[in-house]
Chain A
Amino acid sequence: MRILDPSHEEGAAGFAPAVRLAALEGATVGVISNGKEGTKGFFAAFEQVLKERYGVGEVVLRTKSNYSAPAEAGLLEEAKSWDALVAGIGD
């Protein structure tokens, strides 16, 4: 018998990663946290290490309004002003 494929068959378009920074010194690194329990302490320590060990100029910490959904449009718009972005995904 001839039977049909039930799955998604299109391949993903793919993307090329953005150009990396030349250095972290003096850069503005934005962090988008999912806001779950423990992230506050984790990212506080993370910010300290980035600044003291790697010379990052500024760390901007933002938290998604819904940890089960992608970051909202307003956050992504603000992210355009950063030099690099770190996202804290799974907890």
Chain B
Amino acid sequence: MPLASRRYEVADMMAAQEFYHSRGWTDGLPVVPPTDEAVEACLEWAGLPPAHLVGVEPVRARAITAEKLAINAVMAGCLPMHFPVVVAAFTAMLQEPFLLHGATASTGGCAVLVVVNGPIAAEIGMDATFNALASSDRASTVVGRALRLCLINMMDVRPGAIDRSVLGHPGKISYCVAEDEAGSEWLPLAGERGMPVGASCVTAMAAGAPRQLMNEWTTVPEEILDTFASEIRANMRHYSIWPGNYAIVVPPQLRAHFHAAGWSKADVRAYIFDKARILRSEWADCGKGAVVRDRGGWEYTALSAPEDLLVIAAGGPAGGFGAVIPPWLGPKSRAVTVAIGACVDCEIP
């Protein structure tokens, strides 16, 4: 089936760069020129016809086809083997609970965090260890970048245009991480969220920047999680008090203590659910006294339910570091998990 997109003739690679930059079709970085051959290779690998409807963004009634996604994926530097992950991630982003328009237009400036589970992570060379949250490997970088290019080009999410982010954060360039399933005794994130264990899946979350923490002075799980909970409480005080999907990233050095003590992800979630709470009066300690009013005694919880915490095993082997990744803004956008290569409307056997 032929590709339907308009074609342009350019002289060479450098001319292609200026052509795309001048039209606002890039993220500012050089792009791989999307030829028919490269785009068709992606579609063939994923087994998708060009006109396959990945989904519709409802606010703008904007249809996203496999062809357009493949063009942007090639531009981002994706190889055919990366493309199924891009398709699954954008499928997740187009699900109604994700609220894609709100998440990408908001002044709040979140990025789309993508967590990859299952065998596909290793197959495409994703590294869930060193530099896990920042361009750890080619696959992670180009998959995340492909999503951003598609937002720019298919949904006009450009700074100052639809994208009203005041600050944004570097995750908007690419924000993709594999979970370290081989190095963890925990159930994978996708399995915790109801997908068949062993299936290749992606979870998309409208996410703020990661907030790094450190506690290498204890082996007690509660004390380690007190540090995570404290960072979450800081986000509630300084940024947004509303509950939503928080993510925590737990690298091996801290993870070992949970495994030694027999703590599951469910235990971690229950503890954080209980501890990540503040009183409205605490706003007065950080310059927000004007909105405390007569509600100082009101308690706010970071999580509406323990299940709202995404626990991700990832990161390099040495150092008692961890990270808290806050939501864009409370419950407005919900994290969505989809299987790679599966029909979202099909029942899981």
Partners in one complex: yes
Interface residues of A (CB under 8 A from B): 1-10, 37, 66, 68-70
Instruction: Identify B102's interface contact among A5, A6, A69, CB under 8 A.
Output: A69
A6 lies within 8 A of B6 (CB): no
B6 lies within 8 A of A5 (CB): yes
Given the contacts A9-B6, A37-B291, A1 and B16 also touching, CB distance less than 8 Å:
yes
* B329 and chain A: residue at smallest CB distance: A68
A70 lies within 8 A of B59 (CB): yes
A66–B10 Cα gap in the complex (Å)?
A: 45
Q: Could you pull out 23 A-B pairs where Cβ atoms are within 8 angstroms?
A: A1-B9, A1-B12, A1-B16, A1-B33, A2-B7, A2-B8, A3-B19, A4-B35, A4-B71, A5-B6, A5-B7, A6-B5, A6-B25, A6-B149, A6-B154, A7-B153, A8-B68, A8-B155, A66-B332, A68-B103, A68-B106, A69-B102, A70-B59
- How many CB-defined contacts (below 8 Å) exist between A and B? 77
B1-41, CB < 8 A from A: 3, 5-10, 12-13, 16, 19-20, 23, 25, 33-36, 39
A37–B291 Cα gap in the complex (Å)?
A: 10
Instruction: Identify A8's interface contact among B13, B62, B106, B332, CB under 8 A.
Output: B62
B8 lies within 8 A of A6 (CB): no
**Residues from chain A with Cβ under 8 Å of B101 in the complex:** 69
B102 lies within 8 A of A4 (CB): no
**Residues from chain A with Cβ under 8 Å of B200 in the complex:** none
Nearest CB of A to B29, in Å: 14
B3 lies within 8 A of A4 (CB): yes
A3–B34 Cα gap in the complex (Å)?
A: 5
Instruction: Identify A4's interface contact among B36, B106, B291, CB under 8 A.
Output: B36
A83–B153 Cα gap in the complex (Å)?
A: 38
Query: Which of A4, A6, A69 is packed against the most chain B CB atoms within 10 Å?
Result: A6
A3–B3 Cα gap in the complex (Å)?
A: 11
B71-111, CB < 8 A from A: 71-72, 75, 99, 101-103, 105-106
Nearest CB of A to B53, in Å: 13
